[in-house]
Amino acid sequence: MTRLAVTEKIISTKVSKGLSWADVAKKVGQSKEWTTALCLGQMTATPAQAKVLGKIFGLSAEEQKWLMVVPYKGSLPTSVPTDPLIYRFYELVSVYGTTFKELIHEEFGDGIMSAIDFKMDLQRQPDPNGDRVNIVMSGKFLPYKQY
106 is catalytic: no
Residue from 12, 88, 102, 138 carrying the catalytic annotation: 88
Q: What is the DSSP letter of 19?
A: -
Between the CA of residue 67 and those of 10, 29, 134, what are the distances in Å? 11, 16, 29
The catalytic position among 12, 91, 94, 132 is 91
The enclosing H or E element of 51 equals helix 47-57
Measured distance CA(145)–CA(142) in Å, rounded: 9
> How many angstroms separate the CA atoms of 143 and 139, rounded?
12
* Catalytic member of 12, 20, 94, 114: 114
Concerning whether 114 is annotated as a catalytic residue, the answer is yes
* Residue 33 among the catalytic residues: no
**E runs forming strands in the chain:** 111-125, 132-143
Largest CA distance in the chain: 55
Catalytic residues: 88, 91, 114
